[in-house]
Structure 1
């Protein structure tokens, strides 16, 4: 308690508290922005009402905390986010500007009903602000970006939806072959029930993936504060994993991150539900099970590898995969191409917004 009271006696401590509040606010926005990812198919197939669906998804978003903590045993994605920028170019102003940019882009795309990536806007904002702070991409020959962390994230802009699409295609074909001689009405009833399971699996993946991204940003801010402001010896031991020290000392941050993403999901994001559930392709209960299962598997694989991916991209690719099993024309490729443009533009646009915010902060202060 004394530590937190002490933070309010210096400018850096106040800035850190503002960043934590903003980050949890972004986490909440991420929840309602991405609610459609795990509920779109069960809403459009009328398995659950919209309110029941968001309640179901929110519960499993939060349950992912216990899986990450007790089963996986670590928060790999949070660690990746925290270390995506060279620590020499991180400051509290950088993190603040990156968060503001991410919130602006997320709210704008939510308003327009575009299912863009909350994770990529967060990473884009963080990188853009750090580059602005450094005065360029490689000042003095030192890279601002930790490419070993960031390149896999860039590759999975396309890799995640492609993986989801391939998995969904083969899962759908496999299910159709197994059920080829079954009564269609009975199958429909069973797949509506199974959608509850597949949606829960995907919501677990969504919570485990996206809540950790906010943890990573808060972690980067806390680590900077402890290393550069209060010179905490726990963070200054050579070879120590500072992110693990952060998780041990600031145990409430992971818990709060999962709570806030669950609350955001509970608020829903109905415009994006419409885009995901019906504009890409018409989805039946069978196809909903296949898409959500494929998306969940893709999220679990990437979480195990510690690669932050977009749950939006993943489920979109999965929905395309089930659409292709009917015929190529069953997918509304015009809508898909528009989504692809939003995906490609998210990181650079977020980076530019963050640069502007960073320069404005310094102009004002």
Structure 2
């Protein structure tokens, strides 16, 4: 039972860090265009993160039981995955690099599961096809979206920006700024909502995995009647798990993540309100679609490449590609490094 409490605490710490680490996903553009002050922006994003986090559990189910064999998972495996993700998130936050909290958690879980199974690669669900024809596993839910979503974000961001410029070319820049200054409030709220609907669910899935594993192991037997909410004989995300994760992420978002906000909102490309609206709307639509399909997509990858696409529509050299190269390296290294961390931490526990 003590180990479960540690897992729950680590999961909430990860969710809080995820909140302030990925705050930039929701508000970097609206801050850089000066539509909202940084403090107003984090409050706005925190509210919509909270609302989005309470909508659905499809992503949580994918994280909890769609990627690794739950038969090899125990409390130390879940704890190892969380610690690996926390370490990587704090490291990239310190560097000001917008890396993926989602992939950090998945990498840590896969690495820890490999140690728990004594190096049996078959415990990783690479590609599963259910009776209803639906696909799950690491390839369709993690790897393929990791490769495709940045391209989708970049291309859709550029396309939407070109479309807006073509439709509004006869309007004065001052009027465009006024219109999209208001519109950005909506797009930033939609971005916060979609971010909450995807990222908060990842921790819900991990906590539910711990509850399911603990129930199978019988660690909750003999507890008082009031503790019956811990029993999870089937993989079902409890309402209290949803609310706890939603509030924790909202609190982390409200804390802000200024290092990454500066990188995405100021250093990568100079944005006006119309660019911010296009980037946020593009990213929010892609992320919301992924949440509906139960895909734990990297919200960081999508909003970052959407900003790149929008920025390159001004002119290709408007984007600081040297900084982009550093960001992409952080993306590429996230899964293998957190996998090694999860593997090593689980090894120490064993």
So what's the TM-score if we normalise by structure 2? 0.91
Three-state SS of the structure 2 residue aligned to 1:115 is: coil
Aligned to 2:319: 331
User: How far apart, in 1, do the equivalents of 2:198 and 2:205 lie?
Assistant: 11
Aligned to 1:302: 290
Aligned to 2:215: 226
Aligned to 1:243: 235
Give the 5 Å matches for 1:185-224. 185-224=174-213
**Does residue 171 of the first structure (1) align with residue 160 of the second (2)?**
yes
User: How far apart, in 1, do the equivalents of 2:278 and 2:57 lie?
Assistant: 27
Give unpaired runs (5+ residues) of structure 2.
Answer: 128-136, 222-230
- Higher mean C-alpha displacement, 258-267 vs 162-171: 162-171
Aligned to 1:3: none
Task: After TM superposition, give the deviation of residue 243 of structure 1 in Å.
Answer: 2.2
User: How far apart, in 2, do the equivalents of 1:57 and 1:219 lie?
Assistant: 26
Three-state SS of the structure 1 residue aligned to 2:22 is: helix
Aligned to 1:82: 64
**Does residue 147 of the first structure (1) align with residue 126 of the second (2)?**
yes
Three-state SS of the structure 1 residue aligned to 2:123 is: coil
1:111 alignment partner, one of 81, 85, 94: 94
Three-state SS of the structure 1 residue aligned to 2:271 is: coil
Runs of 4+ in 1 over 6 A off after TM superposition: none
Aligned to 2:224: none
Three-state SS of the structure 2 residue aligned to 1:243 is: coil
1:97·1:358 contact (CA, 8 Å) conserved in 2?
yes
Task: After TM superposition, give the deviation of residue 158 of structure 1 in Å.
Answer: 2.4
1:35 alignment partner, one of 19, 23, 34: 23
Three-state SS of the structure 1 residue aligned to 2:297 is: coil
1:194·1:289 contact (CA, 8 Å) conserved in 2?
yes
User: How far apart, in 2, do the equivalents of 1:335 and 1:214 lie?
Assistant: 30
Three-state SS of the structure 2 residue aligned to 1:325 is: helix
Task: After TM superposition, give the deviation of residue 227 of structure 1 in Å.
Answer: 1.6
Deviations 1:136-185 (A, max 9, x none): 143xxxx1111132112112222222111111111111111111111210
Task: After TM superposition, give the deviation of residue 231 of structure 1 in Å.
Answer: 8.6
So what's the TM-score if we normalise by structure 1? 0.88
1:157·1:343 contact (CA, 8 Å) conserved in 2?
no
2:153·2:303 contact (CA, 8 Å) conserved in 1?
yes
Task: After TM superposition, give the deviation of residue 190 of structure 1 in Å.
Answer: 1.1
User: How far apart, in 2, do the equivalents of 1:281 and 1:99 lie?
Assistant: 33
